[in-house]
Structures are given as structure tokens and as C-alpha cells.
Structure 1
Amino acid sequence: MKRSERLLALSEMLRRNGSRGSSADRLAREFGVSARTIKRDLAALENSGAPIWSRPGPGGGYGLAAGASLPPVSLSPAQAVALMAAVSASPDAPYADLAAAGIRKIVDVLDPKTKARADELAGRVWVNAASPSSRTIKSALEEAMSEQRVVRIRYTSKDGNSTTRDVEPVLFASTNGQWYLVGWCRLRDAMRWFIVSRIERASVTKAACGGHTIHEVGEPPENARPVHGGGV
């Protein structure tokens, strides 16, 4: 691992550890370097503006000051391109437009050398993604999920029957190349999976969801996981 990459990973680990902190020896084992190298890395982070604290003695170590702001996000060219590729290849993913806007903000504040290298590397990654579904429909589904409000949809099933339903959104799921809206269908009084591409219309109502949770959907497949957490 290059030093620049190790510094990024080190700052992220300290952020995740919160107020617990980590000893230099533990950090050294984690990154496969000496404790002396870790201390030099910590000093470099502190000099760059990272709010690092140190606490001597048993149970001490290093961490990031609670409530303090971190210096501007720094990415390697490969990390920047990885983000761009992931969003470009999945335009139908929930909140993809917001993700693309967020990535543009991050890339725009990279130092000129890193940004130039990222732009050059991005030209070496091609994607052939399907056209995204209606922006109006996606916006309504995303808003309903974020605000936990009932969404009224016009849905055409596999056999061609169309119905209008009020749905309490519980989660978005991707499986077998399809995005689904999973929610409590008030028409059927049960949890249902709706293929997003078969939703012809969607509008957010003023009604709040009734509190149905992801636990009612059941256990996810072994190869499925949320989009956050340490396994990402």
C-alpha cells in the first residue's frame, strides 16, 4: 500500500473508532508497518489539519477529536474513478443522480494533479448502461422512501394487469438485474415487491407510513447486504 493510500485509510479508521482510539501498536499491526512508521503517519495527518488527539497510558492511544471537522476529502485517482464508474454503470440505482452530483463535488475539490490523473484514468473505463427509468417516477419513489410517506403508484404486473396502489415504502432492492421497490401494499394488505421499471406513475401522498420495518420483508439472501457498513 502506498503511503498516500495508507494515510487515507488511517484517517478513516480513526474516524470509525470514534472516542475509543487505537494504540500505535494496534494500528501498526493493522497496516503491516512499524509503530514508528504509524507515528510518522499520524504526525503527517496532524500537520495536514486532521484533529488528532493522543492519550498516554493504558487504554490510551490516538483518535480524532469529537465534533471536530475533518480536512477536505482526499481521494486517490483510482478511488475517484471507482466512484464515477459505479454510478455511471448503475443509473437506475436509487439516488443515483444525487450520488453523481456528490461525486462531482468531491472531484472538483481534488488537487489539480490528482484530478488530472483521475480524468485520464476515467477515459480508460467504459460503461454500457441501460437508459434509466423515468426521472419523475424515481424522484417520487426516492422522496417517499426518504420521508417515509405513502406513495401512490400505477403498476403493471407480469400478466399485463394494471392497478393503482398505495404503498408504504420499506426498502429498495436489486436482484437479477432489476431494481425493486419493496413495501406494504395497502391494496393487498401485505408486503409486496414491485419492479421499478413496471411502475408507470408515482406520486407522493401526504400520508405517513404506518411503521412497517425491514424485518417484515424477511432475511436477505446470503449474497445480499445493505449499501453501508464495514463490508463495503
Structure 2
Amino acid sequence: MKRAERLHALSEMLRRSGVRGRTAERLAREFGVSVRTIKRDLVALEHSGAPIWSRPGPGGGYGLAAGASLPPVSLSPAQAVALMASVSAASDAPYADLAAAGIRKILDVLDPRTRARADELAGRVWVDAPPPSSRAVRSALEEAMAEQRVVRIRYTSKEGATTSRDVEPVMFASTNGQWYLVGWCRLRDAMRWFIVSRIERAGVTKLACTGHTIHEVGSPPATARPVHGWGE
């Protein structure tokens, strides 16, 4: 890992550690470098304006000051392309349009040299993603999930039966190459998995969800994890 990339990753790790912080020894192990190198990196971050705090003695370590603003986001060309590739390859994922818009904002503020290198590298990465499901359907499902409101769907099962259902959205899940809406089906009075591509229509109602949680869905497979688990 190049030093610039390590500095970005180091600042993110410190941000995620919150008030606990992390010791220089642990940071050194995480990045496979010496403690002396990590301390030099911490000094470099501090000089760049990162709000780093240090706490000496047992239980001490380094972290980022709570509530302090961070320096403007800066990415390496490879990091920028990684974001573009991830979103392009998962265009049917929940909130993919918002992710793409966020990436465009980041790319717009990159310095011209980094942007040019990122554009050149992006041309070397191709994806053949399946066509996304209806934008109107996905927008309704995303809104219902975020606002925790009942969504009324028209759904066709794999057997060809079409029904109208009121569903309390609990989670989105991706498995076997397909995205599912998992929620409490008021028609069946049970938790159900709906393949998003089989939802023909969806509309958000004014009805609030009644509090069903992901714990009612069951245990996830060993390979499954929530998206905020990246890098942990």
C-alpha cells in the first residue's frame, strides 16, 4: 500500500474507532508497518489538518476529535475507480442512484491530475451488469425502507400468481445474484422474501410499520454481513 493510500485508510480507521481510539502498536499491526512509521503517519495527518488526539498511558492511543471537521475528501485514482466499479457492477442495489450521485460529487472535486488518471484507469475496468429493475419500484421500496412505512406492492411469484400485498419493509438482502425485499407481509401475516425484479408496482402508503425487526428474519448465512461491516 502506498503511503498516500495508507494515510487515507488510517484516518478512516481512526474515525471509526470513535472515543476508544487505537494504540500505535495496533495500528502498526493493521497496516503491516513499524510503530515508528505509524507515528510518522499520524504526525503527517495532524499537519494536514486532521483533528487527531492522543492519550498516553495504559488504555491510551490515538483517535479523531469528536465533532471536529475533517479535511476535504481526497482519493487516489485507484480508490476513485474502485467506487465507480462497485456502483456500476451493482446498479440494481438499493440506493445505487444515490451512491452514483455521491461518487460524481467526489469526482468533481478531485484535482485535475488525479481525475485524469482515474478516468484513464476506469477505461480499463469493464462491467456487464444486469439491467436494473424499474426505477419507480426501487424508489418506492427505498423510501418505504428509509421512512419505515408500509409499501403496497403488486407481486408475481415464480409460479405466475399475481397478488397485491401490503408489506412492512424490514431489510434488503442480496443472495444468489438477486436482490430481495424482506418484510412482514400483512396478507400472509408472516415474514416473506420478495424478489425485487418480480415486483411490478410499488407505492408508499401513509401507514407506519409496527416494529418488526431483522431478528425475526432468522440467522444470516456465515458469508452474509451488513454493508457497514466493510473493512472491520
The 5-angstrom pairing of residues 191-206 of structure 1 reads 191-206=191-206
**Relative to structure 1, is the Cα distance of residues 231 and 51 closer, same or farther in structure 2, using a 3 angstrom cutoff?**
closer
Structure 1, 208-217 or 16-25: larger mean CA deviation: 16-25
- 1:47 and 1:132 map into 2 onto residues whose CA distance is 45
Q: Which residue does 1:55 correspond to in 2?
A: 55
Q: Give the Cα separation in 2 of the matches to 1:83 and 1:152.
A: 33
> What is the percent sequence identity of the aligned residues?
84
Unpaired segments ≥5 residues, structure 1: none
Higher mean C-alpha displacement, 173-182 vs 28-37: 28-37
Residues paired across the two proteins, number = 232
Query: What secondary structure sits across from 1:29 in the alignment?
Result: helix
- Alignment correspondent of 2:155: 155
Deviation at 1:8, TM superposition (A): 1.1
Q: Match for residue 93 of structure 1?
A: 93
1:231 CA drift (Å): 4.7
Counterpart in 2 of 1:24?
Answer: 24
* Secondary structure at 1:154 match in 2: strand
Comparing 200-209 and 20-29, the one that deviates more: 20-29
SS of alignment partner, residue 124 of structure 1: coil
Per-residue CA deviations over 1:105-130 (Å, capped at 9, x if unaligned) read 11212222221111110011111112
Residues in 2 aligned to 1:230 and 1:202: alpha-carbon distance in whole angstroms: 30
The 1-side partners of 2:45 and 2:33 are apart by: 16
Under a length normalisation based on structure 1, what TM-score does the superposition of the two structures give? 0.94
CA distance in 2, matches of 1:208, 1:218: 23
Which consecutive unaligned segments of at least 5 residues does structure 2 have? none
The Cα of 1:30 is off from its aligned counterpart by: 2.9
Q: Report deviation, 1:31.
A: 2.4
Aligned-pair CA distance for 1:56: 3.0
Q: CA deviation at 1:145?
A: 0.4
3-state SS of 2:228 partner: coil
**What's the offset of the Cα at 1:230?**
4.5
Residue identity matched to 2:46: E
Q: Note the alpha carbon deviations across 1:188-218, whole angstroms, 9 max, x for none.
A: 1111111111111110000000111111110
What does residue range 204-219 of structure 1 map to in structure 2 within 5 Å? 204-219=204-219
SS of residue matched to 2:74: coil
Any residues of structure 2 matched to 1:1-232 within 5 Å, and which?
1-231=1-231
CA distance in 2, matches of 1:188, 1:23: 52
Q: Which amino acid aligns with 2:219?
A: E
Residue 86 of structure 1 aligns with an amino acid whose one-letter code is S
Task: Kindly state the Cα deviation for residue 78 of structure 1 after the two structures are TM-superposed.
Answer: 1.2
State the distance in 1 between where 2:54 and 2:67 align: 16
